[in-house]
Amino acid sequence: MTSQSKHAEMLSGAAMVIRALADEGVEYVYGYPGGAVLHIYDALFQQNKVKHVLVRHEQAATHMADAYARATGKAGVVLVTSGPGATNAVTGIATAYMDSIPMVVLTGQVMSHLIGEDAFQETDMLGISRPIVKHNMSVRRPEDIPYLIKKAFYIAQSGRP
């Protein structure tokens, strides 16, 4: 690979998220935009493989993803922002978990150096969601995004919670 072609393949973290979702065969992402995920929304609207369904509340996004998964057998996908956006999704996440419905929920988070500093819309979603998910994870390095999304879909779609 030449230096020039290597640079042509460099993607932003947001573009990696959307490409990884497309690689998993995701047709729809249900969500509500907010500050911590606007870069992902920008990448989402710069392509046409993965479609977005805008909801009026984050809980609706999780219930729609749950219904999609029940109807198709594929994992439902949710995209919400950090803080209250993520906590609003908890009821739908719990519903899917209790019924063994595959769902992948992507939430925003504050910048890593602000975690634990009581930053605006910082919420411990790993701790909050631990009892109602098969697995949760946090992206620490952008280059891990494709692997972590692949892993999330594998876990969501294998076995029971």
CA separation for the pair 157, 161 (Å, rounded): 10
CA distance 8 to 16: 14
Q: Which secondary-structure segment (H or E) carries 7?
A: helix 3-8
> What are the extents of the domains in the chain?
11-152
Does 119 score more than 90 pLDDT? Answer: no
Question: Sorting pLDDT into bands at 50, 70 and 90, what band is 5?
Answer: very low
11-152: CATH topology is Rossmann fold (3.40.50)
pLDDT at 41: 97
- Identify the bridge partners of residue 32 per DSSP, sorted by sequence position: 80
The per-residue pLDDT for range 29-62, each reduced to its tens digit, is 999 999 889 999 999 999 999 999 999 999 999 9
Contact 76, 101 (CB under 8 A): yes
For 83, which DSSP code? T
How far is Cα 151 from Cα 130, in angstroms, rounded to an integer? 17
pLDDT in tens, 69-99: 999 999 999 999 988 999 999 999 999 999 9
Report the 3 state secondary structure along 25-80.
Answer: CCCEEEEECCHHHHHHHHHHCCCCCCEEEECCCHHHHHHHHHHHHHHHCCCEEEEE
Which pLDDT score is estimated for 158?
Answer: 94
Mean predicted confidence (pLDDT) in 108-122 = 61
Mean pLDDT of 13-42: 96
